[in-house]
Amino acid sequence: MSDKKALTFSIMDGPFEQARIVTVLRMIDIAAKRGYKISVFAYEGAVSLPFAKQAQHPNAVHGNDLAEENHPLAKDWIAALMKTARDNGGELDWINCGLCVDERGMGDAIDGVRRGTPGDLWSCASESDNTLIVGTR
Amino acid sequence: MKALQVISSAYRCTIEEQDDPAVWITHAMKGQGAELGVVLRGNAVCYSIEGQDASGISFGDWQQTNPPRLDRDIASLVDKGIDVYVIEEDARERGITSSAFMPGLKPITRAALAGLFAEYDQIWNW
């Protein structure tokens, strides 16, 4: 194991439902800025986080057009985290659980996302300093 | 590397997934050579009871077959050599005594958890 920290996260929730996603992505952001080696195993609904067809929308209730609203999209946050990790000499390896992708039709993910199995979670965790499971509730 | 799976969220999506995803991934990783233990806590202690039947759901003409078999999935963890612990206090609060646990499950007190955690490299809280 190198002197750079290696962390594994497993996430189970999709976007736009609760606070766990923002919280865990903020933690990953800190790790990315420190140049850590980060692995994320997206399990169950979390495979929808990097779904490429997420789209912004205007919000009439807010009185904002599309640009003004700048609606947050998890796929863009993840792409930014991948870039941050690279820019700081680290990496963010995002693995989508393949079976979870298939049952949800979420095969169209952003660049940098790869398909994997629970064996990938185990191998990443085995090579990490620690692992955080962010289970759904 | 040894990891302890602490499972508390229960019956959350078991009809749709035909299993508990935390239990399922434990089986899947064990199949990949992982060294794992399991602690059932909170509502998940109810998985320790044999004879659960979640069959019969239907929507219109759709009859769902192959229901989740949570008791079978826990028992087969034991069959694969995985230590499965059940927190006694959590079971008792739900009217379950350790004598009702399926064979092979290990009662453990909350006070003994710290010692159990020390036997593992990582603790995963599902």
Q: Are A92 and A28 in contact (CB under 8 A)?
A: yes
B33 chain-A contacts, CB cut-off 8 A: 122
Chain A partners within 8 Å of B17 (Cβ): 44
Enclosing domain of residue B103: 2-125
Which of A10, A118, A136 lies nearest to residue B32, judging by beta carbons? Answer: A118
- A136 contacts B34? CB cut-off 8 A: no
Its pTM stands at: 0.91
- The C-alpha atoms of residue B116 and residue A50 are separated, in whole angstroms, by 37
Specify the pLDDT at position A121.
Answer: 98
For the domain made up of A6-134, the CATH class stated in words is: alpha beta
Q: How confident is the model at residue B122 (pLDDT cuts 50, 70, 90)?
A: very high
Which residues from chain B sit within 8 angstroms of residue A46, using beta carbons? none
Residue B63: predicted pLDDT:
94
**Shortest Cα distance, chain B CAs vs residue A58, angstroms:** 33
Whole-number pLDDT of residue A2: 61
For range A5-20, the mean pLDDT: 96
In this predicted structure, what is the pLDDT of residue A4?
A: 87
| CB pair distance less than 8 Å for A125 and B12 | no
Confidence category of residue B23, pLDDT binned at 50, 70, 90: very high
pLDDT tens column, B28-81: 999 999 999 999 999 999 999 999 999 999 999 999 999 999 999 999 999 999
B/e letters for A8-44, b = 16+ CB within 10 Å, e = fewer, are: bbbbbbbbeeeebbeebbeebbebbeebbbbbbbbbb
Instruction: For residue A77, name the pLDDT band (cuts at 50, 70, 90).
Output: very high
A125 in B contact zone (CB under 8 Å): yes
State how many domains chain B has. 1
Which are the contacts of A66, defined by CB distance < 8 A and separation ≥ 6? A56, A57, A58
pLDDT higher than 60, residue A1: no
Give the model's confidence band at A92: pLDDT under 50 very low, under 70 low, under 90 confident, else very high: very high
Element (H, E) at A91: strand A91-97
Mean pLDDT of B76-96: 98
The pLDDT > 70 percentage for chain A reads 99
Q: Do A135 and B125 touch (CB under 8 A)?
A: yes
- CATH classification at residue B23: 3.40.1260.10
Q: Give the one of A122, A130, A135 whose C-beta lies nearest to B22's C-beta.
A: A135
How high is the mean pLDDT of chain A? 96
Average model confidence (pLDDT) for chain B?
A: 97
Task: Map out the domains of chain A as residue ranges.
Answer: 6-134
Residue A3 has a pLDDT of: 73
